Structure 1
Amino acid sequence: MTKPSADQTQKTDIKISLIGGHRLDGATLHERTLTVSLVGGADVDLTDVEIPDGAELRITKLSLIGGVSLKVRPDVRVEVRGLRLGGVRDTGPTEPGGPTVRIDAWGLVGGVSVHRP
């Protein structure tokens, strides 16, 4: 992933399924990803992705049932927004700056878990 300049348009990946979740990694993601499922979560592994300082990678998850399991490097800040029944588990950096992954999780049931090596 590279930090887009002001005149570049950001690419958006869209993943849709009725039943079943999505497995996403650095090779399958662009700056923005939308994953939609009726029942199923998203398993996202970004441990091998170089996110430049100040850049933001954005993942939007829409589902009735299903959460997000996110794996990132220890220096990546994670912001979680949205509405869902289920908490957020993250013990990573909270200060602004550095690389950021933003998760917009919208659903009825499902939390967001952040794992760091």
Structure 2
Amino acid sequence: MTKSSGADPRKTDVKVSLIGGHRLAGATLHERTVTASLIGGADIDLTDVGIPDGAELRITKLSLIGGVSLRVPRNVRVDVRGLRLGGVKDDGPSEPGGPTVRIDAWGLVGGVSIRRA
């Protein structure tokens, strides 16, 4: 996760496409990221990122069709919000405390799948 510089601490990365999703790796993300597409989801891998305790990484996904596939380390708490037709699948509990990844998933069709490494 890249830290925002002192010049603009609220930097938000925006990724847009009409058709096709986005593949995001932790080293290229800032504290806030927005992905938007007409058709296509987001494949996000945060396993190689050291998110500090108490920090919150926010990812917003907007699409008509497409879900979110998220990979996080075991110590990361995941908070899923938004409105979509599709559920949330989390393969295990996170440890108490630690950093937080907040996913705001807005779409017509598509769920959120969380895998822990």
Aligned-partner SS, 1:34: strand
Q: What TM-score, normalized by structure 1, do the two folds share?
A: 0.90
Rounded to whole Å, the distance in 2 between the matches of 1:92 and 1:33 is 24
Cα distance change of structure 1 residues 3 and 29 upon mapping to structure 2, 3 Å threshold? closer
Q: CA offset at residue 39 of structure 1?
A: 0.1
- Per the TM alignment, residue 92 of structure 1 is displaced from its structure 2 partner at its CA by 2.5
The list of structure 1 runs, each at least 4 consecutive aligned residues, that deviate by more than 3 angstroms after superposition, is 1-4
DSSP-derived class of the 2:27 partner? helix
Structure 2 residue aligned with 1:83: 83
Q: Deviations over 1:27-69 (max 9, x none)?
A: 2200000000000000000000111110000000000000000
Local SS of the residue matching 1:44: strand
Q: Contact (CA 8 Å) 2:82, 2:105: kept in 1 or not? A: yes
Identity, % of aligned pairs?
76
- Alignment partners' CA distance in 1, 2:39 and 2:95: 31
Q: Is the 8 A contact 2:3 2:30 kept in 1?
A: no
Partner of 1:111: 111
The verdict on how the C-alpha distance between 1:107 and 1:94 changes in structure 2, with shifts beyond 3 A counting, is: farther
Extract unaligned runs of 5+ from structure 1. Answer: none
- Aligned Cα root-mean-square deviation (Å): 2.1
- Could you tell me how far apart the structure 1 residues matched to 2:56 and 2:98 are? 9
Q: Distance in 1 between matches of 2:19 and 2:8?
A: 35
Q: How far apart are the structure 1 equivalents of 2:95 and 2:25?
A: 23
Alignment-mate amino acid for residue 18 of structure 2: L
The number of equivalent residue pairs is 116
5+ long unaligned stretches in structure 2: none
Give the Cα–Cα distance (whole angstroms) in 1 for the partners of residues 10 and 52 of structure 2.
15
Match of 2:35 in 1: 35
